[in-house]
Amino acid sequence: MQIATWNVNSLTVRLPQVLAWLEANPVDALALQELKLSDDKFPHDAFELAGYQSVCFGEKTYNGVAWIARAPLGDVVRNIPGFDDQQTRVIAATLDAPGGALRLVNGYFVNGQEPGSDKFAYKMRWLDALHGWLGEEIARHPRLVLAGDFNIAPEDRDSYDPAGLAGTILHTDEERAHFRRLLALGLSDSFRLFEQPEKSFSWWDYRMLGFQKNRGLRIDHILVSEALKAGVRACAIDRAPRKNKQPSDHAPVVMTFDA
C-alpha cells in the first residue's frame, strides 16, 4: 500500500500534473495541500474518472486540503476539533485497509512567516491544538498516518543551509520542539526509518534557481503511529514533478507499507 503527500500550490493550476502523476504513481491515498480553491470548485469528477474518490476542505485563494483515495473515505473531520480556526488546514478521514481501517490525517501546517510575528504565535497555538487532538485521535485510531506540509525542517540535515538559517522560520527551536512533541505521541518520521541520500529536500524556493542548486528544505512529511511502524517498507521524495513546466515548489513524498 502507498500513501503520498503533495503541496500543489493551487490545484487549479496543477490538476493536470496531479492526474498525470497519479497515473504514473497509482498510490492508494494522496494528501493534497494548498488547493487555493473553495469546495464548490473542487474537481471531484476529474479524480473519479481517474479512479479516485476525494474529500476536500478548502477556501478561496489560500490554504485548503484534500484526501484522494482509491477506496471510500469515511468519518471525515475538518480542522482541529475544539480549535476555532478561520483557515482550512486539516482534513482527516478513515480508509479501509487489509489489516484494518487506517486513520488518515492531512495537515497544511501554518507557515508562521517570522519568529515573533502574530503569524508565528498562531503557528504555535495551532501546533498546540493539533498535538492535543492527535493524542486523542491516536487513542481512538491506533493505525494512524499524519501526512502533510509541516512547514518545519525537523533537523539541521533537513535544510540546505542549517547554519545560515539557524533560528529563522521553519528552523526555530520552538518549531522543532513541536515536531518532537508529535513524535513523542508515538509517531515516527517514515522518511528517517531508512537510509536516505544526503541533502534530501521536498521544497525549493522558486527564486534564485533554488531547485537547480538544490537549495531546499525537507518540510513535507509522512508520520506513522506505532502500530504501523513495523510495516513501513520505504519512503521517498519524488523530485520528478519539480522538473515539470510550471511546477509546484514542493515535490511529492511517497510512503510504501504493508497495511
Catalytic residues: 108, 149
Min separation Cβ 185 and DNA, Å:
25
Whole-Å CA distances, 43 to 35, 98, 147: 11, 28, 21
The cell for 75 is 468519518
Residues at the contact surface with DNA, assessed by CB under 7 A: 9-10, 12-13, 36, 60-62, 110-111, 113, 119, 205-208, 246
By beta-carbon proximity to DNA, the closer residue of 10 and 256 is: 10
Q: Minimum CB separation from DNA for residue 18, in Å?
A: 13
Nearest Cα neighbor of 154 from 207, 209, 191 is: 191
Q: Which is nearer to DNA, 10 or 196 (CB)?
A: 10
Q: CB 258 → DNA: shortest distance, Å?
A: 34
- Smallest separation (angstroms) from DNA to the CB of 62: 6
Residue (117 or 194) nearer to DNA, CB:
117
**CB of residue 72 vs DNA: minimum separation in angstroms?**
28
- Of the pair 98, 164, the CB lying nearest DNA is at 164
Three-state secondary structure of the chain: CEEEEEECCCHHHHHHHHHHHHHHCCCCEEEEECCCCCHHHCCHHHHHHCCCEEEEECCCCCCCEEEEECCCEEEEEECCCCCCCCCCCEEEEEECCCCCCEEEEEEECCCCCCCCCHHHHHHHHHHHHHHHHHHHHHHHCCCEEEEEECCCCCCHHHECCCCCCCCCCCCCHHHHHHHHHHHCCCCEEHHHHCCCCCCCCCEECCHHHCCCCCCEECCEEEEECHHHHCCEEEEEECCHHHHCCCCCCECCEEEEECC
For DNA, which is the closer residue by CB, 84 or 86?
86
